[in-house]
Structure 1
Amino acid sequence: MKFPKTISILLLFTIFGTTLPAQEVAKPDPIAIVKNCIAAMGGESFLRSITTLYSNMKTEMEGRAVNYITKELLPNKGSFKIVYKGRTVFQNWFDGKTAFETVNGEVKKADLAEFKDKFDRKNIFNELDWIMPELWTLEFLGEEKVGEKDCYKIRAKRKSGLVQLLYFDKESKLLLRDDKVEDINKNSFATTLYMAYKKYSGLTFASEMKIGDKDSSQILTVVELKINSDVSEADFRP
């Protein structure tokens, strides 16, 4: 049977109009991408079982070899110190509500604005916070390379206003880059590149990273990482 030309054209539009939407590829779910990263790190239940984390990292500061020692206690307590030739040259403490730091060797109250991102933190690992919609809103932005790696790019906006751009390796599922947006109008970012990963007592954790911005940066290498040991409440008060 032959159809008139006008009817044939209408049929083609009807067919393609119903089939094309079905052929569109759905965007990846950003929460699922982060959950895949959590699984690659050791799994959600395992990460939630970690209540304290101790890290000792070596780096260079103004051409001098130094160590950065960080202690964290669930949900948001933390301390940080810089050690040079066995001597602590800087230290701060945050107990969840108040903060202190050393200034010229003296302990003083710190500006809480510097710790604003810690107040509503619920987990030691950012990845666990990112999948909490009451804390963060995630948006899938597409795919982009980090070095030679193909990555999913996600925009994460915290309820407090902080914006981060996250790049997850499509193959390993792990986070390869994290940009904290400091000034979107000036294209200003504080970037962390996660250059290598190792397994520490079951936890897959970045063993080498590069932090900083386009003007200055540092390479940090993990010397020691301890899970659920060598951290106590006393570590978060001077």
Structure 2
Amino acid sequence: MKNLLTTITFTLITSVIVNAQSDQKSLEIINKSIDAIGGKKKLENVKTLYTEMQINNDPVFYITKEKAPNKGSLEVKVNGNSVFGYRFDGEKGFEKQNGQIKQMPDEEITDKKNRKYIFNELAYIDPTIWTFNYVGEVDLNNSKAHKLKGENKNGTIEYIYFDSNNFRKVKSENIVMNDENNLSTFEYLDYRTLDGLIVNYKLIHTDPKKVITTMTFTKQEINKGITDKDFIY
């Protein structure tokens, strides 16, 4: 479970500085994707995000809280019992497992400190974080999609696919251990309206060993009830 959490964290959280510039075609597509889900201003106006996500059809839930720019917490519950969690207050981070609290590994603290946005789409257009190159239009699940290759200063290389018709993000492939045949894949499904934004309510994750995990958001809330106290133990 913790390996899956690590994969999700490194895929959904981006950071630090890239010197090169994205090509114009990539920026055009990313900006269209931002417009398609509600626009840059609406994304920037999201100051907190609360989510509950069920894993497969099992009694396993991930509960996350985020506060811009980089505060975050996670609680993993199995049959209603908390089995793992972390809290990061913007500077310090701690993990909790089996009732024991310990400091986060230094590399995870560094990643979380460098986070700048709740939504990855805003990070995609930030040249201090990502550089994108347009690969081309490809066939994907019986439809067309624009494929972009992204490089992050932290060493992450990711292929991202945007639907050619509505420009929503439909798939991402994270290269594991710098091996392009070794991919961690996410599919983004079930887009719905949430407070003026269009967000996905379902993820399908396929790890490099082809283990498939379905993650369904059972609750998402924007700008409601989250305070700084949620990020400290």
CA offset digits 1:145-190 (Å, max 9, x no partner): 2212211111111122211110000111100011121123362222
Relative contact order: is structure 1 or structure 2 higher (C-alpha 8 Å, sep ≥ 6)?
Answer: 2
Partner of 2:107: 113
Structure 1 residue 70 displacement after superposition: 0.9
Residue by residue over 1:40-66, the C-alpha shift from the partner in whole angstroms, topping out at 9 and shown as x without a partner, is 111111110001000111123xx8421
* Counterpart residue number, 2:123: 129
Total equivalences in the alignment? 210
1:45 aligns with 2:41: yes
Shift of 1:219: 0.6
Cα contact 2:46–2:223 (8 A) shared by 1: yes
Tell me, which stretches of 5 or more residues in structure 2 are unaligned? 1-22
Match of 2:225 among 205, 225, 230: 230
Of 168-177 and 75-84, more deviation after overlay is shown by 75-84
Q: Residue in 2 aligned with 1:8?
A: none
Q: Which residue of 2 aligns with 1:144?
A: 138
Tell me, in whole angstroms, the C-alpha distance in 1 between the residues paired with 2:109 and 2:51.
Answer: 19
Contact 1:99 1:112 in 2 (8 A): no
Shift, 1:28, TM fit = 6.4
**1:58 aligns to 2:58 (yes or no):** no
3-state SS of 2:224 partner: coil
Q: Quick check: 170-179 or 115-124, which moved more?
A: 115-124
How many Å separate the matches in 2 of 1:230 and 1:133? 32
> Percent identity at matched positions?
32
SS in 1 for 2:36: helix
Taking a change above 3 Å as real, the CA distance of residues 105 and 146 of structure 1, as seen in their structure-2 partners, is farther
Residue 168 of structure 1 contacts residue 177 of structure 1 at CA under 8 Å; is this kept in 2? yes
The answer as to whether partners of 1:66 and 1:83 remain within 8 angstroms in 2 is: yes
1:206 aligns with 2:200: yes
Which residue in the other structure is 2:178 paired with?
184
SS of corresponding position for 2:179: helix
Using the size of structure 2 for normalisation, the TM-score is 0.84
Q: Which structure 1 segments of 5+ residues have no match?
A: 1-26
Q: Encode CA deviations 1:193-213: one digit per residue, 9 max, x unaligned.
A: 112211111111111111231
Runs of 4+ deviating beyond 3 Å: 114-117
Structure possessing the higher radius of gyration over alpha carbons:
1
Contact 1:57-1:224 at 8 Å conserved across structures: yes
